[in-house]
Amino acid sequence: MISEKLKPLVANNSTVRAMFEEGGKLKEKYGEENVFDFSIGNPNVPAPEEVKQAILDILEEEDSLFVHGYMNNAGYDDVRQTLAEQINKEKGTSYSGKNLIMTVGAGSSLNVALKTVINRGDEVLIFAPYFLEYNWYVDNYDGKVVPVDTKEDFTPDVDDLRKKISDRTKAVIINNPNNPTGVVYDEDVIKSIAEVMYEAQEKTGKEIYIISDEPYRELVYDGAKVPWIPDFYNNTMVGYSYSKTLSLPGERIGYLLIPDEADDAETLIEAATGANRISGCVNAPSLIQRVIKRCADCKADIDFYDRNRKALYNGLRDCGFECTLPKGAFYLWVRSPVEDEREFCKAAKKYNILMVPGRSFMGPGYVRLAYCVSEKTVRDSIDKFRKLAEEYGKQV
């Protein structure tokens, strides 16, 4: 009855849903404050006050027909121009509005980028562990995901990239800062990826794209810098979302940036604008586009996440767990003390701790904790983690 492609999704969905339902039951039974739910990346920081003010001002100052009406499928020209100028200010670039296509969030940016370039059977290389929705996104266009190794510190294994890139490769997805590991790839990493890809482009005589998924770009700690990939590689498309930076995940607002340096950029932009249209989205939601224009220079409350990051990382290390210090995003990647991390997740549930098994990100043997929760949740969880650690004979 349902399409063949969706059958595994429905089957898989039941597992995920079972997990969520169990979480819901725990909260019902023990009270929300006694459940330590680190499973979802739903920001716990409210949108900045400027967002509310922007909405009020728009309703007061702008014409309702304009605010809620159709515009160019790529988005309002003035919004795109403002965002291009904001990027130019931050990255020292010289984009204009035409380089941006407003999208229904980063998920949609990625889908638009993939639809724009992928033909049936094309390979898309992704450094593992990675956000598993990518598999569905690539499958939407009948592409084939080829996982690429990362090193012990979860930065890309460029030698493995060189091995796997071929004339079947159409794109490489980069997610920096990374979900689920919290790792930030520095300039050297990006340069070495670009080198391999330029070689492959040269050798195959075909465009190979970097599709850069950057919803966490503004969420970095300890002065970490996120390289701007188009500075290093021409055929790059950058997907961005305001979900995390402005705490607007439900609003579905982001953009896809295609630089003039991309081969045949004008056609690429036109095709991507068409892909956005015929995906059924037609255009990104209008009012919230206009809000983003007015909040283009708003910043995330990075201190909040940083406090949670330190508290959780230090707390778990003190319990004896092995963690990767996150340099960006709001995820902590923790080594499971037993080989099958699903057992570890199950054990944690006894203490009302919810975390996601690493195999949900192609990273078995690890678990992911999303620390975009309240500070109290982090604080109160540490005692529970200590008890959990004791079960594994960890030093306490």
Q: CB nearer to a copy of itself: give 42 or 86.
A: 42
Q: Is 377 in the site for a copy of itself (CB under 8 A)?
A: no
**Min dist. Cβ of residue 72 to a copy of itself (A):** 10
**Min dist. Cβ of residue 135 to a copy of itself (A):** 9
Which span (4-12, 91-99, 145-153, 359-367) binds a copy of itself, by CB under 8 A? 4-12
Touching a copy of itself, residues 206-265 (CB under 8 A): 207, 247-253, 263-264
**Min dist. Cβ of residue 333 to a copy of itself (A):** 21
Q: CB nearer to a copy of itself: give 49 or 153.
A: 49
Collapsing DSSP to helix, strand or coil, 126 comes out as strand
Token duo for residue 106: 């980063």
Touching a copy of itself, residues 14-43 (CB under 8 A): 40, 42-43
Q: CB nearer to a copy of itself: give 1 or 339.
A: 1
CB distance 164 to 125 below 8 Å: yes
Q: CB nearer to a copy of itself: give 257 or 284.
A: 284
**Min dist. Cβ of residue 180 to a copy of itself (A):** 17
CA atoms of 382 and 145, how far apart (whole Å): 38
Q: Is 204 in the site for a copy of itself (CB under 8 A)?
A: no
Touching a copy of itself, residues 279-298 (CB under 8 A): 279-288
CA atoms of 170 and 107, how far apart (whole Å): 19
Touching a copy of itself, residues 137-166 (CB under 8 A): 137, 140-142
CA atoms of 199 and 204, how far apart (whole Å): 9
The sign of the torsion formed by the CA atoms of 105, 107, 112, 113 equals positive
Q: CB nearer to a copy of itself: give 120 or 393.
A: 120
Number of separate helices (H) and strands (E) present in the chain: 13, 13
Number of residues that bind a copy of itself (CB under 8 A): 76
Which span (82-90, 276-284, 363-371, 379-387) binds a copy of itself, by CB under 8 A? 276-284
**Min dist. Cβ of residue 172 to a copy of itself (A):** 16
**What is residue 275's DSSP assignment?**
H
Q: CB nearer to a copy of itself: give 59 or 396.
A: 59
Q: Is 338 in the site for a copy of itself (CB under 8 A)?
A: no
Q: Is 172 in the site for a copy of itself (CB under 8 A)?
A: no
| Interacting residue with a copy of itself among 65, 153, 376, 395 (CB under 8 A) | 65
Collapsing DSSP to helix, strand or coil, 145 comes out as strand
Rg (CA), the chain: 21
Q: Is 78 in the site for a copy of itself (CB under 8 A)?
A: no
HEC string for 180-239: CCCCCCCHHHHHHHHHHHHHHHHHHCCCCEEEEECCCCCCECCCCCCCCHHHCCCCEEEE
Q: Is 54 in the site for a copy of itself (CB under 8 A)?
A: no
**Min dist. Cβ of residue 374 to a copy of itself (A):** 10
Q: CB nearer to a copy of itself: give 70 or 202.
A: 70
CA atoms of 269 and 257, how far apart (whole Å): 9
**Min dist. Cβ of residue 388 to a copy of itself (A):** 27
Cis bond upstream, residue 48 (ω within 30): no
Which residue matches tokens 């309002």? 76
CA atoms of 34 and 27, how far apart (whole Å): 7
**Min dist. Cβ of residue 112 to a copy of itself (A):** 7
Cis bond upstream, residue 156 (ω within 30): no
**Min dist. Cβ of residue 127 to a copy of itself (A):** 20
Q: CB nearer to a copy of itself: give 84 or 248.
A: 248
Q: What are phi and psi of 248, to 5 degrees?
A: -125, 45
CB distance 264 to 272 below 8 Å: no
| Interacting residue with a copy of itself among 22, 32, 34, 64 (CB under 8 A) | 64
**What is residue 323's DSSP assignment?**
E
Touching a copy of itself, residues 87-126 (CB under 8 A): 103-105, 107-112, 115-119
The gap between the terminal CA atoms of the chain, to the nearest Å, is 54
